[in-house]
Amino acid sequence: MSGSLEKSLDVLEYLTDYPGGAALAQISIDLGQSRSGCHRTLHALIQHGYVRQLPSHGDYALTTKMASMGLSFLSKSGVLDIAQPVIDRLAQTTAELVRLAIVDGDRLTLVAKAQGARSGLLYDPDMGIDLRLSCSAAGQAWLMTLPEDRAIECVTRQGIGEPRHFGPNAPATIKALMKVLEEHRSRGFSIIQDAYAPGMSSIAAPIKRKDEPATGVVLIAGPSSRLTFERMTQFGPSLRAAADELVISGNSSPLLKAANVGTWGNVAGSRRSQI
């Protein structure tokens, strides 16, 4: 990868965490780029419509161009047409938030949702984020399908979640995470409480054919006060049924079957998640 391209991608990924904009000095320092070089990169991205400079204080922020490209890609992939009815039914059955995440190289990205909760505390994280693999139910559901060395490689590359950054029950070591994954494998789906975020619980199952890589994960999330361990265990059969349905219907979506033929991971590359 050329140096200029890598710097441009670094800037784009960095700005996803700053929807209100970031100053040139901040960007260059945090990314370890020279201020003059960072300035040139930002203005090249402005010329191509990916970045804008805010008129009020001169900070730099992303435009909606990448978001528009992503939504266009998802709509043409067919994944939303296939998955939405499945996750809608699961949300209605559980009365909780249901999400679909897609395996993207060594990342797991949220691409669709259905909100089943009608009252009380609603849990609704932003669409499109890359999940922290070590402490999210979806991340652990995917990791449990991988050989141990591959799971460790993915977590090491992204960085393990620490309790001070996430929930108090987030695994703090690789050894602790491997023990948790073994427990998930025994039941066929992951369950976490106060790990990804304090006061939040979730349960997830991989979308996977036997002897083939997982292509995605379907998950249910909500407040721990309502989504107890017992209630999540009761949701297990419905969750796995939804994942199995997505396996079958995924044949008509290039995105949902790409990991099985080895193309999606190659296209995605191995850029590290910044989240």
Torsion angles phi and psi, residue 27, rounded to 5? -65, -45
Beta carbons within 10 angstroms of residue 242's beta carbon: 26
Is the full-model pTM beyond 0.85? no
Residue 182 tokens read as 């073994």
How far apart, in Å, do the first and last CA atoms of the chain sit?
A: 22
Distance CA(79)–CA(100), nearest Å, equals 10
Distance CA(95)–CA(125), nearest Å, equals 16
Q: What is the DSSP string of 211-270?
A: TS---EEEEEEEETTTS-HHHHHHHHHHHHHHHHHHHHHGGG-HHHHHHHHT-HHHHHTT
Residue 29: its pLDDT value, please? 95
Residue 72: its pLDDT value, please? 64
Burial label for 100, CB within 10 Å (0-12, 13-18, 19+), is buried
Domains of the chain: residue spans and CATH: 3-63 (1.10.10.10), 71-268 (3.30.450.40)
pLDDT in tens, 23-63: 999 999 999 999 999 999 999 999 999 999 998 788 999 98
